[in-house]
Chains A and B, each alone.
Chain A
Amino acid sequence: SQELEQSPQSLIVQEGKNLTINCTSSKTLYGLYWYKQKYGEGLIFLMMLQKGGEEKSHEKITAKLDEKKQQSSLHITASQPSHAGIYLCGAVSGNTPLVFGKGTRLSVIA
């Protein structure tokens, strides 16, 4: 079965700083999804990547899927307190259901 490893597990950054979260898959990724979760709440869809080398941006968040389609990164530029939360990568492989990594907990301090 597919496994996703996220790094780091947690991150504390100062407001205004850039940061990167990584997601590595044990298998080729056919669809990679990034979600954000506020503590104890539901998941909010951020971006979906399907093609090797694909890059998407939304506001100050950029996600990339590497050429070999086994790793993705999420980059936040000039972090703000509103970026705080848990970032989860999810993946599908063929007809499998969406599986998730354990998440990266982000704190942004003033």
Chain B
Amino acid sequence: DAGVTQSPTHLIKTRGQQVTLRCSPKSGHDTVSWYQQALGQGPQFIFQYYEEEERQRGNFPDRFSGHQFPNYSSELNVNALLLGDSALYLCASSLRLGYGSPLHFGNGTRLTVT
């Protein structure tokens, strides 16, 4: 049973560029959440997708956008990259109807902006 998978594992981009990160949820899960984790900090919630719609959003600018596909996989897009966007981006999946059920995390994508 595959867990949450993320790609790529590492990425280096230049300021001003755009990036797309991908996530496949754990089998049986229908909800995907994205988090940003800066060095030495806890993960910060970006947004959550369910039924192909953004359901909740954290305090992140519109440069951060996402998408969920019919197979529940998801993408995170970041436009006009800033140096401060350098972080570990974590995808987590869960079952919507399983209120309180824990999030299952992938190993993340390490994004470096130069």
**Chain A residues within 8 Å of B, Cβ to Cβ:** 4, 31, 33, 35, 40-45, 48, 50, 88, 90, 92, 97-103
Contacts and interface: CB of A to CB of B under 8 A. Distances in A.
Interface residues of B, number: 23
Interface in B41-56: 41-45, 48, 56
Contact of B43 (A31, A88, A92): A88
B90 A43 contact: yes
Contacts of A98: 33, 45, 92, 103
A33 B102 contact: yes
Given A40-B88, A42-B4, A97-B48, A92 B100 contact: yes
Interface string B86-114: 00101010000000101111111010000
Given A42-B108, A43-B90, A98-B33, A103 B48 contact: no
B37 to A, nearest CB: 9
Contacts of A101: 42
A48 B45 contact: no
